[in-house]
Amino acid sequence: MEQIDKQTIDKLSQERSPNSISIYLPTTREDPESKENRNRINLKNKIKTARQNLEQQGFQQKDIDQYLKPLYDIVEDAGFLRSLWDGLAIFLNERTFKYYTLPLDFDNVLYMGEDFYLLPLLRPVKENKNFYILSLNLHGVKLYKANRFSIEPVELEAFIPEQIEEVTGFDEYKDKVYQHRSAVVGGGQTFYHGHAKGEEEKKQEVQRFLRYVEDGLQNILSNKTEPLVVASVDYIFSLFREVTGYKYLVDRNISESPRDENEKSLLKKAWQVIQDQLDRERAQKVKEYLDSNNKSFMIEDILPNVLYNRVETLFVNKKECVWGSLHHDTFEVSQHHQRQNGDEDLLNFAAVKAFLNNGRVYLMAPEEMPDGQKPLNALYRF
């Protein structure tokens, strides 16, 4: 299976053909046999509906069988259906057959039309930004390059000391003093107990070690712009913030000792830090929309401006579907209460075009929409 990214969205958006089929399935986390059965039943129900749609259009049974064969092949693939732990997205038309698994809880969707229904993929693709994770404690330093779905280690041996002993001779007992022997006192402050040396001298040794770490990071992250998430106890993180010059350090750490953390767990916790940052950015965009006069909630106004590349941010009501068409010669928008021949979901059209034009696209619950529960809210660039 291919990875899905912006280029994938672009290519799929251009694969227009009558009776293009888009299927989204949430997959279950049951025992393998139950999961296989549930996934098979769910997919077979989608295929049955697609078959009925084609029959209503007058297609012959043998032609329908041939057209839907890739879907039936998945139905019969017991190993694949048993292994699905993530959401499944399938796209099929005369020229294209693609499917993707993503760790997302998709809604159940079957969409048939001239275009593929790509709206559910925009958020994971848009938010699938690259970032770094620095796993930092006094007995082990690791750096990872990650995105929402993957993590891989970065070689550090030539740049960064592995542990504080390499820099200061600090022994394990003193490391434990900093990472485990602490007491909370008034005002949310933490006092670290020590025995061998004065607290200030030990702090200076830790800072010295962190400066070595920082020097090594600068060799690796020079000219990088990806966020850096640090996994460390709060005390170490506060000292690291004082010595680092990396401009894209995320101001919230994974607040625990990462010494025995496995990569999968570390990625999950780091992504939550990134997700919180993205949520704050979304809240700021909502505020910008509310404070701006250069905006619209009228579909007939928004769609032409999407094509003109004027939409800087688009908020999409993820529970709505608006059938209609945009006449590219006149930029006239037609909307219909019920689907008519040649119609497509205008929200899907607007969101995909805005996304491909480097606009921000946010899928929102109805009650989260900035301007009431309208299907679209757009903040314009100019």
Q: Round to whole Å and give the CA distance between 211 and 234.
A: 17
Domain boundary among the residues 279, 311, 343 is at 279
Domain of 303: which CATH number? Answer: 3.30.1330.30
71-99: b (≥16 Cβ within 10 Å) or e: beebbeeeebbbebebbbbbbbbeebebb
* Whether residues 103 and 136 fall in one domain: no
* Whether residues 137 and 111 fall in one domain: no
pLDDT at 191 (0 to 100) = 45
Which uninterrupted H or E stretch holds 87? Answer: strand 87-92
Domain-embedded: residue 27: yes
Which uninterrupted H or E stretch holds 344? Answer: strand 344-345
Count CB neighbours of 44 within 10 A. 13
Domain of 159: which CATH number? Answer: 3.30.420
Domain-embedded: residue 122: no
* Whether residues 271 and 303 fall in one domain: no
Q: Which residues are CB-contacts of 210 (< 8 A; sequence separation ≥ 6)?
A: 236, 239, 240, 243
In DSSP terms, which residues pair with 102 in a beta bridge?
Answer: 87
pLDDT at 164 (0 to 100) = 67
Residue 32 domain boundaries: 1-117
Domain of 14: which CATH number? Answer: 3.30.960
Q: Round to whole Å and give the CA distance between 129 and 6.
A: 11
Instruction: Find out whether 240 and 210 touch, Cβ atoms under 8 Å.
Output: yes
Q: Round to whole Å and give the CA distance between 295 and 185.
A: 50
pLDDT at 166 (0 to 100) = 60
Domain boundary among the residues 257, 279, 301 is at 279
In DSSP terms, which residues pair with 296 in a beta bridge?
Answer: 378
Domain-embedded: residue 192: no
For 169-226, what is the HEC assignment? CCCHHHHHHHHCCEEECHHHCEEECCCCCCHHHHHHHHHHHHHHHHHHHHHHHCCCCC
* Whether residues 243 and 135 fall in one domain: yes
Dihedral sign (CA 216, 218, 223, 227) = positive
* Whether residues 211 and 80 fall in one domain: no
Tell me, rounded to whole angstroms, the distance of Cα 194 from its chain centroid: 43
* Whether residues 313 and 257 fall in one domain: no
- Residue type (1 letter), 237: F
The CA–CA distances, whole Å, from 113 to 117, 266, 291, 342 equal 9, 41, 38, 8
* Whether residues 100 and 238 fall in one domain: no
Domain-embedded: residue 76: yes
* Whether residues 12 and 110 fall in one domain: yes
In DSSP terms, which residues pair with 137 in a beta bridge?
Answer: 140
User: Which residue from 91, 143, 138 is spatially nearest to 259, judged by alpha carbons?
Assistant: 138
Instruction: Find out whether 86 and 1 touch, Cβ atoms under 8 Å.
Output: no
In terms of residues, how long is the chain? 382
| Locus of tokens 């607290």 | 199
Which uninterrupted H or E stretch holds 24? Answer: strand 20-25
Instruction: Find out whether 317 and 324 touch, Cβ atoms under 8 Å.
Output: no
pLDDT at 192 (0 to 100) = 47
Q: Which residues are CB-contacts of 30 (< 8 A; sequence separation ≥ 6)?
A: 38
Q: Which two tokens stand for residue 144?
A: 């990872």
Domain-embedded: residue 90: yes
* Whether residues 79 and 142 fall in one domain: no
Q: Round to whole Å and give the CA distance between 164 and 137.
A: 9
Helical packing angle, 6-14 and 346-356, nearest 10°:
130
Count of structural domains within the chain:
3
Q: Round to whole Å and give the CA distance between 200 and 25.
A: 57
Which uninterrupted H or E stretch holds 102? Answer: strand 97-102
pLDDT mean by block of 10 residues, the chain; 382 residues = 83 95 84 81 96 96 97 93 84 96 86 95 88 91 92 82 60 46 45 56 88 91 95 95 95 87 91 94 97 97 96 95 91 92 94 96 95 94 92
* Whether residues 10 and 83 fall in one domain: yes
* Whether residues 252 and 153 fall in one domain: yes
Count CB neighbours of 160 within 10 A. 22
* Whether residues 269 and 309 fall in one domain: no
pLDDT at 33 (0 to 100) = 78
Q: Supply the DSSP string of 52-82, one letter for each residue.
A: HHHHHTT--HHHHHHHHHHHHHHHT-HHHHH
Domain-embedded: residue 339: yes
pTM of the model: 0.81
